[in-house]
Structure 1
Amino acid sequence: MTTMIGYLRVSTEEQANSGLGLEAQRDTIQRYADAHGWQVVWHEDAGLSAKSLARPQLQAALDRLNVAAKRRDVDGIVVAKLDRLSRSVVDFAGVLELARARKWALVAIDLGVDTSSPTGELVANVMMSVAQWERRVIGERTSAAMQAAKRAGRHMGRVSALPQATVERLLALRATHTLAGTADALNAEGFTTASGVAWSANAVGKSCARITKR
């Protein structure tokens, strides 16, 4: 039998809203799972926002999925609504890319994304294309801003500081991964550099050096 992780999330502000409550999400996922003959195991982050993927139970779920197929005890992850997993298309696309690379299913019931089916995978591919476009637009805007500053004789360093959630995830991954492995994992999970572009091994090394000098 297929076993899926049912992921539930609610922020502090949303906890009083029954339409976004944990039990409502659980019921939606359970009904979908019953219709597909799936068994569900639950991971729940209560009182946390979706501004990043750095949430304890979500990371535990991803760690459980991202092992060798022979040792994996689950087949994928399912959420009732996309925004329970992430409010960022780029972040969601990062998880989709990870699911594709490691060959596990990702399901967002409200949008009809279900990578275990051809139609659901088509929807997922469209979302990944949108995310790729968004990344390119961010990169072009950053480059244009830096070029304009250079023409005006102003020095531009990093566009912004790394969010704390990114710093924490970067350091956690670096403790057990190579520079390249850390970059790959950050990109797969939807984290970007301070300037909004994808991570490289060089960027990981420089960021770690800056962080440790604080």
Structure 2
Amino acid sequence: MTKYIGYIRVSTKHQNNSGLGQLAQKAMIKNFLKKDDLLIAEYEEVESGKKDDRPELLKALEHCKKENAILLIGKLDRLSRNVGFIYLLKDSKVKFVCCDMPEATDVTIGIMAVLAQDERERTSQRTKAALAELKAKGVQLGSPCNLNSEARQSGTKALIQKARNNPNNKLATALIVPLRESGLSYQKIADKLNESGFKTSTGKEFSNAQVLLLYDRYINIKLESDHK
């Protein structure tokens, strides 16, 4: 018999009140459990994805240690962009399983931590730089009339960046890196991603070129981080 403690999270009070986020994740946890598995408890977190404090997660991790149980996470992609969650889970040394990504490991979580931290820093830097540039040009911020051609181009770039930081791509990268470093070709990795049901940011299957792009992006991020 395997003992589990469930952990689900919705990012806003609206999602919490609607019950849709919890119900979906509860269903995933229930469907994951086998006949002889035991779900000891469930912990629910309702917080903003920007906050790093996770009181319910801390309780769940302590409960796992006490009962020698496995933390069963309803949906990893809902949590993968939060640096605080990722490091807390990684450093706890508690065994975990993700319903939507059972193959996730400590290595996966470590990769996600690098990507999430980089995304947060880059987003902050881009926002500050863009605001400073607009102010220097005498643009009054917050006015709809400011949406000139230049602003629209910036908006297009933001959409492209959003696609690059899509949770689907981040989850795929966490699997691509260890597979590539074990010697698999880009095409074989793409095949494995597609067989496992992974999708690109546009909802399509992965090609070897897309795998190469995601792997190169991770390597560049790691090199930049190492030189800081």
Say yes or no: TM over 0.5. no
Tell me the TM-score normalised to structure 2 length.
0.42
So what's the TM-score if we normalise by structure 1? Answer: 0.44
Mark the structure with the bigger radius of gyration. Answer: 2
